[in-house]
Amino acid sequence: MGWPLGGVGFGGDYNPEQWAEEVWAEDVALMQQARVSMVSVGIFSWAEVERRPGAFDFGWFDRVMDMLAEGGVKACLATMTASPPPWLARLHPETLPIKADGTRMWPGARQAYCPSSPIYREYAGRLVEQVASRYHDHPALALWHINNEYGCHTRACYCDVSAKAFQDWLRDKYSTIDELNRAWSTKFWSQRYDAFEEILPPRSAPTFANPTQQLDFARFSSDALKGLLTMERDIIRRHSDIPVTTNHVPLAKTLDLFAWGKEVDVVSYDSYPDPFDKQAHILAGLSYDVIRSSRQGQPWILMEQAPSAVNWRHNNGIKQPGQMRLWSWQAIAHGADAVLYFQWRQSKGGAEKFHSAMVPHAGPDSRVFREVAALGEELQQYSDILGTQPDNDVALVLDWDNWWALELDSHPSNELTQMDALLAHYTPLFEANIGVDVVPPDADLSKYKLVVVPNLYLTKDPENLTRYVHNGGHLLMSFFSGIVNGDDQVYLGGYPAPFREMLGLSIPEFHPIDHDEPVEILGEPATASLWLDEIVLEGAEGDVLTQNAYGQGKAWYLGTRLDANGMRRVMDHITGQAGVRPVLSGLPEGVQAARRGDWLFLLNHNTYEVEIRRPE
Amino acid sequence: MGWPLGGVGFGGDYNPEQWAEEVWAEDVALMQQARVSMVSVGIFSWAEVERRPGAFDFGWFDRVMDMLAEGGVKACLATMTASPPPWLARLHPETLPIKADGTRMWPGARQAYCPSSPIYREYAGRLVEQVASRYHDHPALALWHINNEYGCHTRACYCDVSAKAFQDWLRDKYSTIDELNRAWSTKFWSQRYDAFEEILPPRSAPTFANPTQQLDFARFSSDALKGLLTMERDIIRRHSDIPVTTNHVPLAKTLDLFAWGKEVDVVSYDSYPDPFDKQAHILAGLSYDVIRSSRQGQPWILMEQAPSAVNWRHNNGIKQPGQMRLWSWQAIAHGADAVLYFQWRQSKGGAEKFHSAMVPHAGPDSRVFREVAALGEELQQYSDILGTQPDNDVALVLDWDNWWALELDSHPSNELTQMDALLAHYTPLFEANIGVDVVPPDADLSKYKLVVVPNLYLTKDPENLTRYVHNGGHLLMSFFSGIVNGDDQVYLGGYPAPFREMLGLSIPEFHPIDHDEPVEILGEPATASLWLDEIVLEGAEGDVLTQNAYGQGKAWYLGTRLDANGMRRVMDHITGQAGVRPVLSGLPEGVQAARRGDWLFLLNHNTYEVEIRRPE
Amino acid sequence: MGWPLGGVGFGGDYNPEQWAEEVWAEDVALMQQARVSMVSVGIFSWAEVERRPGAFDFGWFDRVMDMLAEGGVKACLATMTASPPPWLARLHPETLPIKADGTRMWPGARQAYCPSSPIYREYAGRLVEQVASRYHDHPALALWHINNEYGCHTRACYCDVSAKAFQDWLRDKYSTIDELNRAWSTKFWSQRYDAFEEILPPRSAPTFANPTQQLDFARFSSDALKGLLTMERDIIRRHSDIPVTTNHVPLAKTLDLFAWGKEVDVVSYDSYPDPFDKQAHILAGLSYDVIRSSRQGQPWILMEQAPSAVNWRHNNGIKQPGQMRLWSWQAIAHGADAVLYFQWRQSKGGAEKFHSAMVPHAGPDSRVFREVAALGEELQQYSDILGTQPDNDVALVLDWDNWWALELDSHPSNELTQMDALLAHYTPLFEANIGVDVVPPDADLSKYKLVVVPNLYLTKDPENLTRYVHNGGHLLMSFFSGIVNGDDQVYLGGYPAPFREMLGLSIPEFHPIDHDEPVEILGEPATASLWLDEIVLEGAEGDVLTQNAYGQGKAWYLGTRLDANGMRRVMDHITGQAGVRPVLSGLPEGVQAARRGDWLFLLNHNTYEVEIRRPE
């Protein structure tokens, strides 16, 4: 696809149905004032365009689209399926999702549909057909916005309809029930299934449900939602070549973004760093690197961010003056070609009325609108950034299969989480201004100088990593990696069996700890927590951190989680050994440097000014 | 109504069905010894007078009533509907209440009925008809005690029967579905209803349910229970002119007491200060001021208090010697004309056997009985207090609509609660011995020298407050007031739009904080927490605390919650400016002074003695 | 029964269905190497021997049994009923258990059956019939292992089938509904039942369910599971005289072990001390004393322990080198004649793959297997220990009826728990190396020099205790004892009415405290927590700790819970007075001494070595 907009995309979610039509004209005038180039429309319009089943009325929406076209604002047009109207639940209560404990999720909020419901799919598909056929050649149309934040609230459904869909998914995967029984290790605890029809989602049970059942259900749930995406996309494709996207909620376990990225033309991300969190920009940076990497570095869309505060945390801080501009530029530095907000005009009522908006309750004469408009103006000058991409030497390995498996119950420790593991390894790289791609473990790694593998408990294809090192790569792997295969079955023969040779060591037993433990790392003291492997050297050197020459390359193993300084020391050492260079060195603490093509971005995340000499 | 008893009412809940009839004679003798003038009878007698549907047997209860009459003890006669017998649930399981997540509440405890159940209403109504027709002219009868602690356990029901009743309530309120859609802002999140029949209680949902749906459901639930009260009252009225009351649980969100107070002849309150809580008497004082104000200052009944410990907290302390007397007198000082206990004789079995009683397990030869009897004797001397009322200069504004709305989800901060807000503003007035009425925001305020408005987020009728100031009143308003109207829709145009002129300021954004912040208030340091408004002065003076002349009056605004000393300093300053005088000044800390008519009450809440000079 | 094995039993759970048959031969060879004498087989084999209802196939299991016989390893043969196959739930969903809040427990884990289900009983019974008739004279058979860890996950069921069974149980107990109404005190809160058919399990209710209903439901639930045990045992008995056992989970509230011990030939216990808990060996010691006492001191089987880490806690530590040996010998010192593990070979998949096993994932060349085999070897030398029993002078009173009642809601304090109470009184005895039996309150106490009665709230038969003292016994009783009878009804007349005379005191009110309080005990300062009785002396001497001569004996009363030092001081004093002697005195801290017959065990629980002189 070509980029649909003339410059850096700028705008937000526009929900005009909330306002009388006389407000719309003021909206367009203010959009022009703020240099808005694109707005997302129709996201929550289902109940207004189809007030009764099959009774479609797009008249008011035609007027919105025409008005945008006349005003020179492009439409990122939603398929309107994000939240079914109450009549669907009344006609078909079996479309409502059900939790593992049997609790039904009722209408009155949003996203109250079972992802596997054929009835929801039928009604949603009919609506998409209407929208796509009606607007596919509308002059305002720039981008198709499929649904909205899939899996944000309804991540999985455990109802009987979902059980049937899960059985079908398992039949596709395993072909025979014997093969499923083997993969799921059902000979233990007398769990053997005699037929796919006996299998249920992992509903509330007396104790730990079968781990592979849980793992497959997580895979199925991501796929069930993905099936909704492709169903809508395929309908659109029959009418239109305009690019499609769908916007993802902040980095979460629910959806395998690497699989989802393949199904759209451009990836979109909703970013809500917490202003009360002093490290929020690091998590944001990681998230942006993930979303960009989910389409191999192509530019992506920051589809939603808050102009100031959100309203859905327990306690919601505002963005300080300048902070919204800083965080917007950070997204661009990490590869975004568009910056949009939720939402254009702040709601007067409803569940998001205290979520900040580009036009606040106080109107345009306000700090928030002024900062928004100033950013819109500023971004006009930087169209040359569009399409450029970061070129990074370091890959951080992330796998949703591992995420789901790592956080299963009945493990040596339940304190080990994927997000903590990612952040512990990403933060020292970020702080050293080293650009990072986030890749699945089966990615082509040959371009990278260093591959970082945090706690890759489930490893489907260990050879891809060992081959990379053998061919000359540098790799850091942390504890509790290479333990199970894709069926969550242990690789026998001493942990971590598939990596013992590459790492030159073995681990006799898992060794979670219940306290912090002082250790020495690279000659200096540090603090170990969570876990502290007893390492048996089989060729490697070192103790808590080991290194091993393997083929043309080198593999490090870190048998614990260190405090921030310790992790930083380890990463400094290994990036140095691997010949990885920062974007810029010698910067004051809190200043981020990033590159896209020829562009160098310098971002001061401190609350005070700093002075920086122009790099040579 | 006239006061039904000769002196200060004294007694307790009497549940003789728990004991063999031979114990009853001892009961009456001990009542006489303790100078008991009235007991509540029949509260849990349903299952004993109607052992099978329609098979009434009041013989044993006749004997109780006759015995009381002969013993000179009046009966506060319950309608017996508080806890339906198990047979009702077996015959009609649809009368059982259901929680938001679908969990049914079963029999085996008490209050297991859906407030909207027509079947429960039918059976309860038939029983009340029996009780009222049988005892309306019994010589023991002094007062009708309708049901018991409405909404104590079953605050709301989410079943299909309640859904239907909720729909009817909404139809009455809004007439058309379009008007409901407007009020509920259903154009957001695709929530438009096409018919009232589509609407449900706010059951478990994928995320935040519509706020106005939640708010209306809270209103409906208070009204549904109130409908039970008036149903019973109207049956009684056909038989009897004896006053009716219903007893309320400690100050809670469930029932709009200002609305309930209009439906009875005298209001009753159950007070259970926690002996482990050093500030319990302040919360008690606030509660008493609320219940008294719910009937415009008329004398009220302390229907229940514990002679010593309760049994329903996690850990239950006893009342120290003298503490029960002190807290009883405190209720009288705040306007009570009767002091009663739960219960007369301590249960041998069942769920309240470890709740203290006037006659403990050990029998009358016990500290508890001796203190009870001594108080009964003492109160004989003070009949002159009866009917007198406090006359206060300060009004504290409380609105159940605001309570429900303030604590909704999806807000700037969920740490802001109505009870904390009330106590933060009430405590410095209490400690300064300034009497307080607690009034709804639409009350006639003209008699007050100062009106205190803590966090009145939802403001239905802002003019009543602005008019009061304009006409010369003094008013203190705290942050997050005047934000939404009765539909929970924001007043646009800069916060707090309806009060900007009165206060001479505006607030650009809500500003919750996640830490304590030092501020300066009236020249001294203080600590701000929860929230810290950025205030734009538009005529007012000050910073965290502002003041503004408006019409003949003056309005203060406090943009934060201060620590106790800070709140005290603010309140001292403003009461001084408003010409409000304490009941008595110069008292030692911990000594409360209160007035009813000519009576001055001095209550030492310390654990040590103090010396006080007779006031001039 | 005679002991079925030649020496100290040694082995573990063997689940060969998890592995290909070629692994089995290696298993037997390794078992011989580790001196394994017995393995538990068939525990989770149901789904493999009955793949479809009624289609039995024991061929593979015959091969397992034959192979064991040939290898000289005995079988502790399970009845295979622990975990029904998925087809049972599909055919009969009504066999699935339901929680108090209505949540159904689904298959996918284990133990998903309603204990009262006649359908589960029918299918389980048919299977036991098959197993018993097929293997009753198999040469490998040494012991019948009924089911597995009854009540481990499914402790009670609240479904309609269970309701019916509960009604039947109540009808058996009370004969008439009037007698039940009396026992349950249903005249309070209008709970009178008109028929047994109206009664339900204590499902979710608006507030505290009737306490005696809760208590009887706990009794019923223990009995319902016990009914499964005896059903299976009786089937086996028709085929075999080989002893039967069932293995119990770590000391828990669910099952009345004193009642269960009567139904088997030998008791078995699964012990999982937490390696992260420095006091784990004390809790283990208490548990072993309970299980041994549940069959009057007869030798018992340590049916399961972990060779190293478990996997079901939140965070699971490994056993340090030597710790498994130490804790195994501790079980023997407390009366075990067999030491077995869960499980033989560590699972490759499923929910327990991270539970350590005798043969770990790494194989036999591992610390864990080496320690296991060394212990197996060592135990060969100590067959003379078999059959010996400890002979203790101190009895600690435990009653499941009290456990259930003590921890009911609506109590003076909910911070008082049975396990804390037991440990607070047991620990100082353990640390002083004084052997303890744990007995029900109706046991024959005449052989003991001292009886310790911690918080025996519910006392069914006070005379057994008073008679013991009267006849010359020494007894220590703690607060909140002797309060209610078996119906959870208060003994009237001043607490603790049935023991006032024996103790020479009374307690006016219960006195929980919300803070730690300094007190003086036996002339030294100590810290009181939880509770602090105000004691009225009626013949006794002392204050917080009192003593009273009664008949030929002496009774102490401790009105509080002291810190560890305080409890130790009290216990030292009283054991001294009672003439109780430690097994050995003058040992270093952390060294346990215990006796069985002529055998003296010295166990060093410290992480360092100590030197001990040979006792004279």
For B191-226, how does the pLDDT look when each residue is reduced to its tens digit (9 = 90+)? 999 999 999 999 999 999 999 999 999 999 999 999
Where does the pLDDT of residue C301 fall: very low under 50, low under 70, confident under 90, or very high at 90 and above? very high
Strand, helix or coil for residue A89: helix
Where does the pLDDT of residue B613 fall: very low under 50, low under 70, confident under 90, or very high at 90 and above? confident
Q: Which of residues 400-419 of C touch B (CB under 8 A)?
A: 409-415
pLDDT at C233 over 60: yes
Alpha carbon separation from A78 to A13, A51, A127 (Å, rounded): 10, 18, 11
In this prediction, residues B352-358 reach a mean pLDDT of 98
Q: In Å, how far is C576's CA from the nearest CA of chain A?
A: 40
Q: Are A283 and A427 in contact (CB under 8 A)?
A: no
Q: Which residue has the tokens 């007397």?
A: B325
Q: Looking at the partner chain, which of B206, B210, B489 has a beta carbon nearest the beta carbon of A112? A: B206
In this prediction, residues C570-597 reach a mean pLDDT of 97
pLDDT at A448 over 50: yes
Residues in A closer than 8 angstroms to B204, CB to CB, are 103-106
In this prediction, residues B61-80 reach a mean pLDDT of 98
In the complex, which subunits touch C with 3 or more CB pairs below 8 angstroms? A, B
pLDDT at B127 over 50: yes
In this prediction, residues B54-58 reach a mean pLDDT of 97
Q: What are the b/e assignments for A396-430, b being 16+ CB within 10 Å?
A: bbbbbbbbbbbbbebbbbbbbebeebbbbbbbbbb
Tokens representing residue C591 in the block:
């060294």
B149 is catalytic: yes
For residue C1, the model assigns a pLDDT of: 47
pLDDT at B1 over 50: no
Alpha-helical runs (H) found in C86-210: 86-91, 118-135, 160-174, 177-184
For residue C614, the model assigns a pLDDT of: 77
Where does the pLDDT of residue C615 fall: very low under 50, low under 70, confident under 90, or very high at 90 and above? low
In this prediction, residues B176-194 reach a mean pLDDT of 98
Mutation site for C-interface testing, chosen from A189, A196, A506, A532 by largest number of C Cβ within 10 Å: A189
In this prediction, residues C210-230 reach a mean pLDDT of 98
Average pLDDT, chain B: 97
- The Cα–Cα gap between C519 and C565 comes to 12
For residue C167, the model assigns a pLDDT of: 98
Tokens representing residue B523 in the block:
């020249």
Element (H, E) at C118: helix C118-135
pLDDT at A540 over 50: yes
Element (H, E) at A134: helix A118-135
Q: Which amino acid is at C108?
A: G
C378 is catalytic: no
- The Cα–Cα gap between B282 and B86 comes to 40
Residues in B closer than 8 angstroms to C208, CB to CB, are 109, 312, 351
Tokens representing residue C291 in the block:
């299980």
pLDDT at B61 over 60: yes
In the complex, which subunits touch B with 3 or more CB pairs below 8 angstroms? A, C
Number of A to B CB contacts under 8 A, please give it.
187
For residue C388, give the nearest of C300, C299, C327 by alpha carbon: C299
Q: In Å, how far is B608's CA from the nearest CA of chain C?
A: 20
pLDDT at A5 over 90: no
For residue C7, the model assigns a pLDDT of: 75
| Residue C536 at interface with chain B, using a CB cutoff of 8 Å | no
For residue A614, the model assigns a pLDDT of: 77
Contact A361 B495 (CB under 8 A): yes
pLDDT at A501 over 60: yes
- The Cα–Cα gap between C308 and A22 comes to 73
For residue A1, the model assigns a pLDDT of: 47
Residues in B closer than 8 angstroms to A316, CB to CB, are 412-413, 512
Q: What is the interface pTM, i.e. ipTM, of the complex?
A: 0.97
Q: Are A35 and A6 in contact (CB under 8 A)?
A: no
Residues in A closer than 8 angstroms to C103, CB to CB, are 101-102, 204
Question: Which positions ≥6 away from A7 have C-beta within 8 Å?
Answer: A37, A379, A380, A382, A383, A386
For residue A438, the model assigns a pLDDT of: 98
Alpha carbon separation from C307 to B349, C121, C149 (Å, rounded): 48, 34, 19
For residue C613, the model assigns a pLDDT of: 85
Q: In Å, how far is C156's CA from the nearest CA of chain A?
A: 11
Contact B194 A97 (CB under 8 A): no
Residues in B closer than 8 angstroms to A92, CB to CB, are none
Q: Which of residues 309-338 of B touch A (CB under 8 A)?
A: none
| Residue B87 at interface with chain C, using a CB cutoff of 8 Å | yes
Please compute Rg for chain B using Cα positions.
25
pLDDT at B2 over 60: no
In this prediction, residues A398-415 reach a mean pLDDT of 98
Half-sphere CA count of A14, side-chain side, radius 13 A? 28
Strand, helix or coil for residue C603: strand
Of all residues in chain B, the one with the smallest CA distance to A109 is B209
Where does the pLDDT of residue A613 fall: very low under 50, low under 70, confident under 90, or very high at 90 and above? confident
Element (H, E) at A122: helix A118-135
Q: Which amino acid is at C574?
A: I
Per-residue pLDDT of A357-398, as tens digits, reads 999 999 999 999 999 999 999 999 999 999 999 999 999 999
**pTM of the entire predicted model:** 0.97
Contact A351 B410 (CB under 8 A): yes
Where does the pLDDT of residue B325 fall: very low under 50, low under 70, confident under 90, or very high at 90 and above? very high
Per-residue pLDDT of B234-269, as tens digits, reads 999 999 999 999 999 999 999 999 999 999 999 999
Average pLDDT, chain C: 97
Q: Which of residues 454-493 of B touch A (CB under 8 A)?
A: 487-490, 492-493
Q: Which of residues 102-131 of C touch B (CB under 8 A)?
A: 102
* DSSP tally for chain A: helices H, then strands E: 17, 25
Q: Which residues pair with A536 in a beta bridge?
A: A506
Residues in B closer than 8 angstroms to C189, CB to CB, are 44, 83, 109-110, 350-352
pLDDT at B6 over 90: no
Where does the pLDDT of residue B504 fall: very low under 50, low under 70, confident under 90, or very high at 90 and above? very high
Contact A210 C108 (CB under 8 A): yes
Of all residues in chain C, the one with the smallest CA distance to B84 is C190
Q: Which residue has the tokens 């607490």?
A: C495
- The Cα–Cα gap between B293 and A190 comes to 66
pLDDT at B468 over 50: yes
Q: Which residues pair with B413 in a beta bridge?
A: A315
In this prediction, residues A213-222 reach a mean pLDDT of 98
For residue C6, the model assigns a pLDDT of: 65
In this prediction, residues A154-181 reach a mean pLDDT of 98
- The Cα–Cα gap between B124 and A232 comes to 55
Residues in A closer than 8 angstroms to B509, CB to CB, are 308-309, 318, 356, 360, 367-368
Tell me phi and psi for residue B520, to 5 degrees. Answer: -110, 130
Where does the pLDDT of residue B614 fall: very low under 50, low under 70, confident under 90, or very high at 90 and above? confident
Per-residue pLDDT of A309-320, as tens digits, reads 999 999 999 999
pLDDT at C3 over 80: no
